[in-house]
Chains A and B, each alone.
Chain A
Amino acid sequence: MRQDTSMKPESGQSQTAVTSPAALPSIEGGVSLSSLRHSFGELQTLAGIDLEVPAGSVVGFVGPSGCGKSTLLELICGLREQTGGTVAVAGREDAAGRLAHCAFMPQRDLLLPWYSALDNAALALRNQGLRREAARAAAGDLFERFGLGGFEAARPSELSGGMRQRVAFLRTLVAGKPVLALDEPFAALDAITRGQMQEWLAAALRTDPRTVVLVTHDVEEALYLCDRVAVLSARPARIVGELGVPARRAEDRDAAVTDPAFVATREEALRALHEGSR
């Protein structure tokens, strides 16, 4: 596949680091949750979550639909204030501080149809005050590196589902935040494209490591992409299982997910998920 060859870090990376915050190895920020609770009025969605996400690691949350996974991400990103407990991102506990250190990738790509693919990817840089040309140049470097070269001028409607998702991920990456919060990033894709995208994301995180909090209902996706996976119960959510992961973003996804150790961990995760959703 074309992205496999284009994924190798460029030799001129130090040069791009000057213009693009995305190229900086910015993995100083960890995430720390302690007895984090949240309620919407009477409805309790999170019932005390404790978890450490060390800087530079990828942690996944899997759980049944509607268990409060998206709320958890919003709390981490500082898009919402928790009703109890603490969240710290890169040492900051206030919502504004969390927001400053997290980039949020919503479930659907939400590319803005009035911008080209490149301008969508450069959105954060424009918001941060970069001039259009500088922002485009910085985001354009990543287009080449992540297998989107040649699609800079395309409108989002002209891209396939997988490509839209890649642009959406680049948009998140380009923001230059230490923490990426991904909310079911590939849920809308078909199984084959999803597998390819997981491989692509794994490669992207190898070249450009970040602290990642990933929410998904796909156990296999979590186990393949993450260093550690927390299994959540049905609402109100608490952690019912924590699993170390055997595969860790192996280059060959198909081989990794059929490995006996992987299959055994998946069984364990599914069992925890099943018990937790009762």
Chain B
Amino acid sequence: MRRYLLPGVLLTLLIGVWQLAASTGALKDALNLESFLVPSPLEVAESLWDNRGLLAENAWVTLREMLFGILAAIVVGVGFAVLMHRWRVMRDAAYPLIVASQTIPIVVISPILVTWFGYGITPKVVIIALVCFFPLTINALDGLRAVEPEAVKMMRSLDASRWQLFRRVEAPTALPHVFTGAKIAVVIAPIGAVFAEWAGSSAGLGHLIQSDTANFEVARQFATVAVLSAMALALMALTVLAERRVVRWR
């Protein structure tokens, strides 16, 4: 209970301070801004309610991008990890490149991908998959390599084929690591989604934030951020639940 109670108390406290600072006008005076640019949490909540249809519509667009992107990253990332684990030469060749590829800012490639794939869902899925690919691949590979050499010897002397070794020992050993990668992927997926939508889109939460910037709809921007973050947290909770169901031996 304490696990949920304490962060809840802290969050309430922070929102309370914000509410006080905004409603008394202290915040807008300090920033020297008009009051509609410095909404209070209550005003954000009001905007959340008033725009529920619009937010839900755009949230669905972003959620779909994220789900497809994460799924693509899981398939490609885990597949790549298995290939690199199976063939040493693959790992030696690709691993440094995969690490190096992480130095390329996603903001920079997003517009290029939009140029290539257009304004539809494709460039978003690709960008989110690119962001999520790294933690998944690295964790899956670490997991496959966490198998004890003694266990491999034991399996070989118990007549295991390469596939049986993978299925009965390597894959279950790697599974918790894959979930660790998936949990990281799920929380960074919204970042990829927002950058992807900023590079060119006609809908989605990132798109909404961008257009609201131009119209000084600050309250709705906060509301949008809250929805985006809630979505990521829900995906995280689902991942944790799935992990508990699948990795029962821990």
Contacts and interface: CB of A to CB of B under 8 A. Distances in A.
A112 interface: yes
Interface string B136-150: 000000000000101
B153 A74 contact: yes
Interface residues of A, number: 28
A123 B151 CA distance: 12
Interface stretch (B71-79, B158-166, B194-202): B158-166
B236 interface: no
Contacts of B249: 113-114, 155, 157
B188 interface: no
B154 to A, nearest CB: 5
Given A112-B172, A113-B249, A114-B249, A106 B160 contact: no
B158 A175 contact: yes
A124 interface: yes
Contact of A77 (B148, B157, B160): B157
Q: How many B residues are at the interface, by size bracket?
A: 10 to 19
A127 B153 contact: no
Contacts of A104: 153-154, 156-158
Contact of A124 (B148, B158, B172, B250): B158
B155 interface: yes
Contacts of A113: 249-250
A123 B154 CA distance: 10
A107 B169 CA distance: 18
A143 to B, nearest CB: 17
B168 interface: yes
A167 B188 CA distance: 44
A177 B169 CA distance: 21
Interface in A235-260: none
Contacts of A108: 150
Interface in A90-137: 99-100, 102-108, 110, 112-114, 123-124, 126-128
B242 to A, nearest CB: 16
A51 interface: no
A110 B150 contact: yes
